[in-house]
Each structure stands twice: as C-alpha cells, then as structure tokens.
A and B are shown apart, each in its own frame.
Chain A
Amino acid sequence: MPIEIPKDKWPGSIKKVTLGATSAEGGTRAKSVTVGGETTLPYLHFEAPTPNKPVIAIEIKSHRPDDWSPLLGEVWGDAMNDPAQWAKKAEEAGADIIVLALTLADSPEDAVRIVKSVLAATGLPLIVWGPGQAEKDNDLLVPIAEATKGEKLMLGICEDKNYRTIVATAMANGHVIQARTPMDVNLAKQLNILITDMGLPADRIMMDPTTGALGYGIEYGYSVMERLRLAALQGDSMTQLPMIVTPGFEAWKAKESKVGDGVPEAWGDWKFRAIHWETLTAVALVESGADIIVLRHPESVKRVKETIEELIAV
C-alpha cells in the first residue's frame, strides 16, 4: 500500500546570521560562515533541505585553564599556553569557528592583543566571550569590539542583566551578539526583544538557550530549543534566530568526563567515556536544531562533524 508522507509547510523561517568578514567585506577572515535559514524542523529533508549545515566552534582560552579536565590538557598540550597556537591547532582539528574565552586576569590591553594574535593565527571567524562578570565583560569587550571593527566577530555573552553595553558596541562596530538565557523560552524571547529594541538587527543575534549536559538536564535544554524552533516556524519573529550551544562547556563540567579517579569501576575507560559524554551531548543538541556547536575535544569535533554529514546527506 503506498503511504503518503505528510508534509508541514511553515509560515515562518529562521534568520540567517553570518560570522566573520573577508577582506572584500571589510574584515580579514579567509572566509565567513553563515548559519540559520531553516524553514522546517531539523533534518526533515522531505519537507525542505537544511540550507546551512550546523558548524563546529572549538573553545580556547586566553590563558591555560587550570580547571579543565586533564584529558583536554593532554590533547592540546603546550598549545594551551598560547592562544594563537591553540587557535591554529583548533583549525587543524576541524573547527569552522574559534571561540576565545577571556579570563578575569586579562587586562583590556592584554585582551585586545590576544584577540589580534588569534585573528592573525587563523582565518576562521571568531567568537569572543568575556569572563562572565558584567563589569569585566564590558571592560574587555568594548575595546576588543573597537579594535576589530568590521571583522564581524560574535561577542558574548549577553544576558538580561548585562546586554546594553555589549549590544551598543556590537552595533557601532559591526559585530554579532550571543544572547544567553537560562533554559526558558519566555526569557529567551524577552532578551531578543530587548536587544532588537536597542536597534540591533535580528540577523546579528544568535540565541544561546543554555542546555545542560547529558545526565544534567539536557532534556530541559532540548525541549526549550524545540519550543523556540516551533514558535519560530509558526511565525513568531522574536524567536526566529539561529542557536549557538555549548556542549563542550556543559559536558566537561560533568564528573563523568572531568575526572578519572575515585569513580566507580563500572564507569569504564575514562577517555572513552569523556569523549562520548561530550559527543552525545552535542549530537542531541544538533538534532534539536543547534546551528553552532561549541566543543572542546578534537575527537568529539571529528565525531560530531561526521554525524552532521550523515544527518544532512539526503
């Protein structure tokens, strides 16, 4: 018996957001990366193709982190001491985008210098995160935004308590914004409204819905992503933004990946488990519609990229 597959046609679609500007576009990137543009739910090829495949960003830090898992220290080695070297290795590992996370120890001058060194070391588009304290974020991100005018960085992380200064400098200097809310559709939409009300066009905002890791609330995370995407497709303009997610950060916080000692023997090989933790967290989010996936371990990058290729293959 022939079966007709029902197809949805949605009134709404996701905006396209481009990161990075080439020399022709006023920056110095070897290429730019565009994400978003979806017109249906993820990977329903029979309804519509995936217009821009999800991309992988690798997270590096301005200083060698002392709270990261030793497994990450082992794989990145001495490159972790030099953000430019680290960025280069991340590009070699398959990153489409570099995320540079600054620390509280960085002065504005250091931060600008480090950002420039990373831009010089790689041609990939760059995302820069402040250390996560409102005042310090503003102190660092404003001079960076000015010093890299036209590069179309993504600046983060805007939250409801601190977005005005970062949005203003992104508007003035042609950058994109990462808008984070804590796993809540209402708050996600609210922040998008507040940011666009300031005058930043919606195609220069990405939502960071916060996700949790495998075993640590990821089902809340992907439920929120699903609701946001459904609302967007139904035509709610203030949810029609592509999403950036941080499974690397989330998964490597989990005890299962972070530590190898003092855990039950039944947990098995540490490295095997840790990489699976990051990969599975990431893949669940890819399947929920994530557009930029920020990872930490090169092996996870490889596996998630393979999965994405399989998902978009018709």
Chain B
Amino acid sequence: MYIIGENIHIISEKVKEALTNRDREFFMDLAVRQVEAGAKAVDINLGPRKKDWAEVFPWIVETVETVVDVPLSIDTTNVDGMEAALKTIKKNQAILNSTSAEPERLEKIPALAKKYNAKVIALTMGTSGIPVEADARVNIAVETLIPHMMEIGFNMSDLIIDPLVLTTSGCQQYCPHLIETVRMLQYAWDPAPQISVGLSNVSNAVPNENRPLINRVYLSMLMGVGLQMMIANPFDKEQNDVIKWIESKDMSTPLARIYNKIAERTANSEEPQIEDFDLKDPDQSAIWKTTQILLNKVIYADAYLNN
C-alpha cells in the first residue's frame, strides 16, 4: 500500500498555528514522522492561501524537502500556488492534488503537471457534482479525464484517478458504489490507471472514537478490490496492521482472519456474511456492524455500534 501521508493539513489547529508562526521545526518533524511511519509520499494541504501563496508554497516545500526524500503531494485549489510549489521542488516527482472533470480545472492542472513532469490526481467529479452510481463515475474517467490526458500527451502512468470517498454519515449510499468504482476503474483502460482514495473521508462527521474502525473496515473492502494507493493517516497503527495482514495474507489471529475474510469476500463480489464473524467477540461484532453500515444495509447513526 502506497500511503500518501495526510497529516500536514490546515484543518488541524496545530498545523494552522505552526503555519502562522512559520514553525519550520514543526513541519519537519511531522514530515519525518510520517515517512518513518511508512508514508511513501507526503500530502501538503495548507488551503488556497490566496494572499500569501507566493511565499507559503515555496517555504513549505523547501522546509519539508530539507528533511524527507519522498514525493510531495501539492493539495490545493490554487493553481498559482501549485506552480510556485512545483518550481521549488527539487528531489522527487511531485503529485498535483487535484484536478476534476470540471472544464476550468481540467484545462489548467494537467497542463501544469505535464510542464513540470508531475503526477496528477484526477477526481471523478464533473460540473454537476459527484454521481452516486459507480458506472457514472467510471464514465467520467473514461469519457472525460483519460481522453483529455491523451489529448495533451500526458504520460498515462502519471495519472492517478481518485473516485471520491464520501462519508458514511449522511452519504451512506455512496459507500458501496465507491467500492465498485475502484473495482471497475482497473478495467477502464489498458494499462490500468493508478487509483487513489482519501480514506478518512469515509468517516467525516463521525464521532472521533468511531472513525478509525470505520476507516479500516472500509480499507479492507477496498484492498479486496485492489486498492494500492491512498491518502491516509500513516500513524494509525491498527490501520497499518490491517494493511500488513491483508498484503501478507496473515491469518494468525482472529482479527487478521476477519479482515482478510472481508477483503476476500469483497474481491469475490460477495458481501461479508454474519457467519464469518464470532459475534461473541466484541471486536468482531463491531467490525460486522461496521460492514453493514458501509454496505448501506443498515442506516448509519452515531451510536450504530450500540444498535
């Protein structure tokens, strides 16, 4: 699993404060720790920085590249900011996060990526928003994103498609469709495009104590359909265990077996079955309930584990 570390994100109060103080040590430390925890790339999301982009983007790139030797993912809607970052990056091929199928973004961002030899993440979202159905999302990739890339002579192995994870709290019907989208996208083109998702979006607006469980159960389903790249929190040890268990087909503990079983069921286009689980084990019972939420079988509620 190629993890793009998500922790340098302006939504965090600490990141906000460190940025205000231009605290180099803070960002260097956060970048190093993510890479040590297994991140293969580091996402940098400081927002659009409409006023000070010309200073902030080169500053953060220089700061982070001082201490880590992995690709940086420039996560912003500000195209000028992206370019300022690209001009500063010295070490590795950058990732632009992101374009969508909206004409204005599609016009500018892949061209920018091509100019600076960067990868680009492309969201399966057009002007009319995010479609629920898997087919419709695949169509955006096949009918809009990929043809545009070919048209501008973009190196297809540098295209990463993000089919957009939405939260189980309020957009539950999207969760099973996203799994199918990831499955189908791999057959959408030859060679298969790279696919990445923002995993923790699946638990947006969920109370913090339930988020990691929802994230890792969903992850096991997505790994079942072949997901190999994601933007995620590399410090989540239990998530990293799930990755390790599924990648190495480790069945040595009941939990390792359960997560492998979920991946296997999903791989075979089956749903996890209640008899796969030992419901007397509270962990397994919670995982079972989480599968039912994620497959839109049971309506989500914040207290769904008590249901």
Contacts and interface: CB of A to CB of B under 8 A. Distances in A.
Interface of A: 185-187, 189-190, 192-194, 197, 227-228, 231, 234, 236-239
A238 B300 contact: no
B306 interface: yes
A234 B298 CA distance: 8
Given A190-B302, A190-B303, 9 more contacts: A190-B301, A192-B301, A193-B301, A197-B303, A227-B299, A231-B298, A231-B299, A236-B298, A236-B299
Contacts of B16: none
Nearest to B173: A227
B290 to A, nearest CB: 15
Contact of B307 (A185, A228, A234, A238): A238
B145 to A, nearest CB: 32
A286 B303 CA distance: 29
Nearest to B205: A186
A59 B297 CA distance: 37
Contacts of A228: 299
- The 9 closest A-B CB pairs, nearest first, are A190-B301, A189-B301, A193-B303, A231-B299, A189-B299, A238-B307, A190-B302, A186-B300, A236-B298
A234 B300 CA distance: 14
Interface of B: 169-170, 172, 297-304, 306-307
Nearest to A238: B307
A204 to B, nearest CB: 18
Nearest to A235: B298
Chain B interface main SS type? loop
A236 B307 CA distance: 9
Contacts of B169: 186
Contacts of A192: 301
B299 A193 contact: no
B299 A186 contact: yes
Nearest to A189: B301
Most B Cβ at <10 Å: residue of A190, A231, A239: A190
Contacts of B303: 190, 193-194, 197
Contacts of B298: 231, 236
A194 B298 CA distance: 17
A237 B299 CA distance: 10
Nearest to B307: A238
Contacts of A193: 301, 303-304, 306-307
B17 to A, nearest CB: 32
Nearest to B298: A236
A186 B307 CA distance: 13
B299 A239 contact: yes
A312 to B, nearest CB: 28
A202 B262 CA distance: 32
A237 B169 CA distance: 19
B170 A237 contact: no
B297 A234 contact: yes
B271 to A, nearest CB: 14
A193 B304 CA distance: 8
B43 to A, nearest CB: 29
Given A193-B301, A227-B299, A234-B297, A186 B170 contact: yes
Most A Cβ at <10 Å: residue of B172, B297, B300, B302: B302
Most B Cβ at <10 Å: residue of A187, A189, A197, A239: A189
Contact of A237 (B172, B300, B307): B307
Contact of B299 (A185, A194, A197): A185
Contacts of B307: 189, 193, 236-238
Contacts of B300: 186, 189
22 contacts: A186-B170, A186-B172, A186-B301, A186-B302, A187-B301, A189-B299, A189-B307, A190-B301, A190-B303, A192-B301, A193-B306, A193-B307, A194-B303, A227-B299, A231-B298, A234-B297, A236-B307, A237-B307, A238-B299, A238-B301, A238-B307, A239-B299
A236 B301 CA distance: 11
Nearest to B172: A186
Contacts of B301: 186-187, 189-190, 192-193, 238
A240 to B, nearest CB: 11
A239 B301 CA distance: 11
A9 B70 CA distance: 56
Nearest to B305: A193
Contacts of A237: 307
Most A Cβ at <10 Å: residue of B172, B299, B307: B299
Nearest to B170: A186
Most B Cβ at <10 Å: residue of A192, A193, A194, A228: A193
B237 to A, nearest CB: 29
